[in-house]
Chain A
Amino acid sequence: MSRLTFRLLGSPPQRVDLSGLTPEALKDKSVAEIASLPIHTTRAALSVGDLFDVKDGDGDEIVFEGGAERLDRVGAGLSQGAVRVVGEVGVEAGRGMTGGSLFIEGAAGAYAGSGLRGGVLRITGDAGERVGGPRAGETEGMNGGLIHVGGSAGARAGDRMRRGFLLIEGAAGDYAGSRMIAGTIAIGGKAGALPGYLMNRGTLLLASGAERMSPTFLDCGAFELVAARLIAAHVDKISARLGAAFRGPLRRYAGDLAALGKGEIFTKGE
């Protein structure tokens, strides 16, 4: 049986909330039932069928053909199965995911993978601000799983991250890894100003350095650590380039001394 497919019919007339369209939520629903599900976020009613041509298929894998910046919360709460989007998405893609895989062939808006707890979120394009981060008022961001951004990420990537891996191939905005509680972030391109701002624990690898390092991170020297080898072997499975960045001597900066100070920033170097 082919995949359950949502073909985008046109540009959305308003921002839409697609968090209900996950394999688990749709597994016992007919095409007609799915088409009648509400997705509007304004007073103007809008259902799935108004925006998408739904093609029945195996509900374990859902495909959105066509993307738009107004498609919010795609794959939010995903716990199993796979969701693929051919195109860009709006905010909070994969927010609160606990399992499964969400693959976005395009760019994602702010808060992609917000509070992710498990599973894999891959974004081939750029991610907006606060990828993996918590929404205002929440105490923890990403808490497990893995996010892989093929392009660049906006400001405060991995904000308040607690656990898991956030891999960014391109550049990152200011305050990458801000307020990290723990976990591992790797940034292939150049990071913006003050990476690791107020981080308590955790690991932040800057393969291409940062625009400005915080004075509250202190140089501890360059090492080839066993822990970096273990991380490299894990990251290799997702990105050979970022895996390689964990190999060889890494300069260790301890910080943020303005907070708990048990975190670390690694940069390439002797």
Chain B
Amino acid sequence: MSLSAGGVAIDDTFAEAFDMRATALVITADSAKWAMQAATTMTGFATSVIACGCEAGIDCELRPEQTPDGRPGVRVLLFAVSTAELQRQLTNRVGQCVLTSPGSACYAGLHEGEDKLKLGAAIRYFGDGWQIAKKIGERRYWRLPVMDGEFVCESVTPMTKRAVGGGNLLIMGATPENTLRATEAAVQAMRAVPDAIMPFPGGIVRSGSKVGSKYKGAVASTNHLYCPTLKGAVDSAIGPEIVSVLEIVIDGLTSAAVAEAMRAGLKAIAELGPERGALRVGAGNYGGKLGKHHYRLKELMP
């Protein structure tokens, strides 16, 4: 039996996702603009762990009263496949992108977690002996003298092992414009969901991949079953009515956050409807054997 939401066909399939290690940071600055600049820079080139080392994105903007230092802030999330890689990415990205950004400060964005990652504790050596540790309440900060004053960075940030990476939706439409419109609407709705990010450009990936390749050494290659220009030549997953397919990949601090984001995305696509938006929504999986987390679209439909 075929499923449908608001006239949009929903495949009876599931998205398959994986356990990941993750942390969150709160980056502040004297203005919202510069907090966002630091956050944008440190989450750049972080679309996929395949080649970027981590997946990172902006979770939300924070009002001054929501940040430790009372300045405007941005919460960012970082995901990686191992603790060591997450630590490496965290240190490099904060060191090169946040420390360097005018007026910035950087704090832990999680309050509980089984393990701790070094934040200021790794970057403090930049202070060349002039760094100052300050313990305020239960939290310890490093103060590094820099050319515009001081960079304040919390010593450690908790890490969660319960994070999930790879939740996804495949949005299929009759024209590229309609497909993009539906996908943008979905991303916009998903951004409102806390603890989840969509790490690809603008939240969207147009080159969805499958595992493996005909070429040795390539771990991933184009998802040819969803490429519209191949639909006559291969055992395609899309019918003649589909001209464009876009994917949204979701990473969440918890499995619930991923499910909630997918739910919000499906709702937005259904509300837009098939006339101006998507004809069909599917999800990517590997037969259910690789990833521990399965998100069935029919359970998340509006």
Measured CB to CB, the residues of A under 8 A from B are 163-164, 182, 184, 201, 203, 223, 225-227, 229-231, 233-234, 262
Contacts and interface: CB of A to CB of B under 8 A. Distances in A.
Interface string B120-151: 00000000001011111100010100000110
B190 to A, nearest CB: 32
A233 B67 CA distance: 11
Contacts of A233: 68-70
A211 to B, nearest CB: 27
Contacts of A203: 134
Contact of A163 (B70, B135, B152): B135
Given A226-B152, A227-B143, A184 B134 contact: yes
B68 A230 contact: yes
Interface in B40-69: 68-69
Given A230-B68, A230-B69, A230-B141, A225 B149 contact: yes
Contact of B136 (A182, A223, A225, A234): A234
B105 interface: yes
In this complex, the member of A164, A230, A234 whose beta carbon has the largest number of chain B beta carbons within 10 angstroms is A230
Contacts of A230: 68-69, 134, 136, 141, 152
A226 B150 contact: yes
Nearest to B139: A230
Nearest to B137: A234
B65 to A, nearest CB: 10
Contacts of B132: 201, 227, 262
A223 B147 CA distance: 13
Contacts of B135: 163-164
Nearest to B134: A227
A contact patch SS: mixed
Contacts of B149: 223, 225-226
A149 B69 CA distance: 26
A227 B137 contact: no
Interface of B: 28, 68-71, 105, 130, 132-137, 141, 143, 149-150, 152
Given A223-B149, A230-B69, 16 more contacts: A163-B135, A182-B133, A203-B134, A226-B28, A226-B149, A227-B143, A227-B150, A227-B152, A229-B71, A230-B134, A230-B152, A233-B68, A233-B69, A234-B136, A234-B137, A262-B130
Nearest to B142: A227
Contacts of B70: 229, 233
A226 B136 contact: no
Nearest to B28: A226
A227 B141 contact: yes
A203 B28 CA distance: 23
Nearest to B135: A163
A208 B130 CA distance: 27
20 contacts: A164-B135, A201-B132, A203-B134, A223-B150, A225-B149, A225-B150, A226-B69, A226-B71, A226-B149, A226-B150, A226-B152, A227-B132, A227-B141, A227-B143, A229-B69, A230-B69, A231-B136, A233-B70, A234-B136, A262-B132
A182 B140 CA distance: 13
Contacts of B130: 262
Contacts of B134: 184, 203, 227, 230-231
Nearest to B69: A229
Contacts of A163: 135
B69 to A, nearest CB: 4
Nearest to A144: B135
A230 B149 CA distance: 15
A113 to B, nearest CB: 17
Nearest to A165: B136
A214 to B, nearest CB: 20
Lowest 7 A-B CB distances belong to which pairs? Answer: A226-B152, A229-B69, A234-B136, A226-B105, A227-B143, A226-B69, A230-B136
A69 to B, nearest CB: 34
Nearest to B143: A227
Contacts of B137: 234
B282 to A, nearest CB: 47
A226 to B, nearest CB: 4
A229 B143 CA distance: 13
Nearest to A182: B133
A203 B136 CA distance: 12
A122 to B, nearest CB: 17
A231 B69 CA distance: 9
